[in-house]
Chain A
Amino acid sequence: MKELELYCIMCPASCTLRVIVKDREIQVYGNQCPRGVEYAKQEVLEPRRHVMSVVRVKNGDMPTVSVVTRSPVPKDCIWRIMEQLAKIELEAPVEIGDVVIRDICGTDIIATRRVKRIELL
């Protein structure tokens, strides 16, 4: 039996979780919502994270578009994603939810900022 103290990262409430790992069973205490249980189990088995960055965008009303992983990726995938993002430049317009990189580390990278196209005179 193993007892761990984790801080839930699912939302800023940052619940302090007491996690008891017994054989294959994981018991979670201290969570204020069911997502805490989900997080603790995932964290014990295979920690996953969101990756966020910005990518340059041409002819937009903003100089960059922000991006994030659609779902959290295994921690050791983070650097592969960042390396791929460094190679990209987008063209406005970009809408929230547009896929920036498809199928990487089991998810997509999607745009999280709306960038309108500015027509150059």
Chain B
Amino acid sequence: MNVLKIVVIGSGVVGASIARVLSRYQGLEVIVLEREPDVGWGVSKANTSIIHPGHEEDPDQHPLRAKLCVRGNMLWRQWVRELSILSTWPGELMLYTNTAEEKEARKYLEYAKRNSVPGVRILDKNEVQAVEPAVNPGVEGALYAPTAGLISPFEAVPAIIENAVDNGVKLLVETEVRNIRISSGRVLGVETNKGFIQADIVVNAAGLHADTISHMAGVEPEFKITPRKGEYILFDETVESKPRIILHTTPTPKTKGVYAITTVHGNLMIGPTAEDMPYEFKEDTSTSREGIEYIYREAARILKNPPPKNRVIRVFAGVRPEPPGGHWLIKAYSDPWGFVNVAGIRSPGLTAAPAIAEYVLDLIRETYDVKLVEKQKWNPYRRDITRIKNKRLDEIDELVKSNPNYGEIICYCKMVSKAEVLEAIERIKKIGARVTVDGVKFRVYTGFGKCQGSFCRWRVANIISMELGIPLQEVVVKHSPYGIGDVKKLWREKVSVQ
């Protein structure tokens, strides 16, 4: 049987999901290319982390978004179980404070019916207070959607990739696509900074840069992705009046509103802003005073007791890809034969990702007449990293007895043991990504707490240094080394110049 080689550009949640779905079939060789040192560091990393119910998608304007959002919401319930991805399913309340907003909220009840989203209904003022005491008493009512969930997106992507790699997918990090090689109307492969990679099919899931990749293939020359920035504030776990249910203001044409959520890790998070940025600002994840102050104002409309500023542990921003008209561009081309766009995947992209992957599989099957035969031994499961936090003391004791590294705590704030750090490093190595301090952090939360890493960053870097057998200063934090050299480097430079 001939092997069909498929290159997926981008290891965000969309690329990763596609790779996982493809990994199920015989005769496919799947390679995922990622420009960053690790997976899921782009759009997928910094967002509201909500699995949307699908009642906010206009079935007339965006039928594909509506369909795949509702399907994705269902698929995630299965995926989080199979892949041990941290998730909660608290439902959401779209809060309104006046009649104009109420009218808008009621519109989504109609969408819910048309999109077959279950359980959506209106709650009055008293009902809102009864189901969620953290809500500002000024709120007049809400649209309740019980199927909304939360995941940890920065853990979800590595989990999906781990499973995909386990099923034969290959990942290449720090690999940037420079061109798509096409001959006689057929895709031949991709040219990268690491050389040419042959492929029969190229799937463009390059997030913010999917327009550039599409242009490389010579399709959709008018298609342009606009960066839209969202800033967030993350509070300490111990703040009071964290909402049990996902809360948000009634959407405006630009955003789904500002959210107040209790993340799967137990932190209060509020945001985002929605700032349309100039085209060149796709990498701009900077935060701003104005943005953060806007979020505070909005949060005060949602929450009864918005926490004081001194409980902030982090502010951050993510950039989302906004396609023309908000339309996802998911298409398999016959000219050039073998090129597939999965581009402009704006919200609800995280929710829809598994459904998008299925949809892309169908497109490939139909457009390129691929006969798909399921593998006999496909492993749908991935085990999560063993963590000591939230375990009982006797359980921790047993773990320590099995491996003393569970008894050495590296991150004090989040109670993360050396064994967990080592397991994160092993897993990064196993998928073929670069081991970085941030990569460890996003897997086991070292530095996610109150001190933001001032106690543990050097400890984590030290463990990496020993595991990789490199000097401490060469350990990569996110993109650059922890130090510029040893402490006498600059003096040696000076003396040698003289």
Contact = CB atoms under 8 A, between A and B. Distances in A.
A–B direct touch in complex (beta carbons closer than 8 A) = yes
Interface in B439-492: 486-488, 491-492
Contacts of A83: 491, 494-495
Contacts of B492: 86
B486 A86 contact: no
A96 B486 CA distance: 23
B486 A56 contact: yes
Contacts of A87: 495
A85 B486 CA distance: 13
A54 B488 CA distance: 9
Interface string A64-89: 10000000000000000011011100
Contacts of A82: 491
B349 to A, nearest CB: 46
Interface residues of A, number: 9
| Of B486, B491, B494, B495, most A-chain CB atoms within 10 Å | B491
Contacts of B487: 53-54, 56, 64
A83 B496 CA distance: 11
A29 B486 CA distance: 45
Contacts of A64: 487
A79 to B, nearest CB: 10
Interface SS of chain B = helix
Contacts of B491: 82-83, 85-86
A82 B492 CA distance: 11
A75 B299 CA distance: 55
Contacts, number: 17
Interface in A72-121: 82-83, 85-87
Interface in A30-62: 53-54, 56
Nearest to B486: A56
A81 to B, nearest CB: 11
A115 to B, nearest CB: 15
Contacts of A54: 487
Nearest to A87: B495
Contacts of B486: 56
A82 B486 CA distance: 15
A88 B488 CA distance: 10
B470 to A, nearest CB: 14
Nearest to A54: B487
A113 B84 CA distance: 48
Nearest to B491: A86
A86 to B, nearest CB: 3
B495 to A, nearest CB: 6
B488 A56 contact: yes
A56 B489 CA distance: 12
A86 B494 CA distance: 10
Interface in B327-375: none
A53 B491 CA distance: 12
Contacts of B494: 83
A68 to B, nearest CB: 15
Nearest to A64: B487
| Of B486, B487, B492, B494, most A-chain CB atoms within 10 Å | B487
Interface string B418-433: 0000000000000000
Interface of A: 53-54, 56, 64, 82-83, 85-87
17 contacts: A53-B487, A54-B487, A56-B486, A56-B487, A56-B488, A64-B487, A82-B491, A83-B491, A83-B494, A83-B495, A85-B488, A85-B491, A86-B488, A86-B491, A86-B492, A86-B495, A87-B495
Given A82-B491, A86-B488, 15 more contacts: A53-B487, A54-B487, A56-B486, A56-B487, A56-B488, A64-B487, A83-B491, A83-B494, A83-B495, A85-B488, A85-B491, A86-B491, A86-B492, A86-B495, A87-B495
Can you list the 7 inter-chain pairs with the closest CB atoms, starting with the nearest? A86-B491, A86-B488, A54-B487, A86-B492, A83-B495, A82-B491, A86-B495
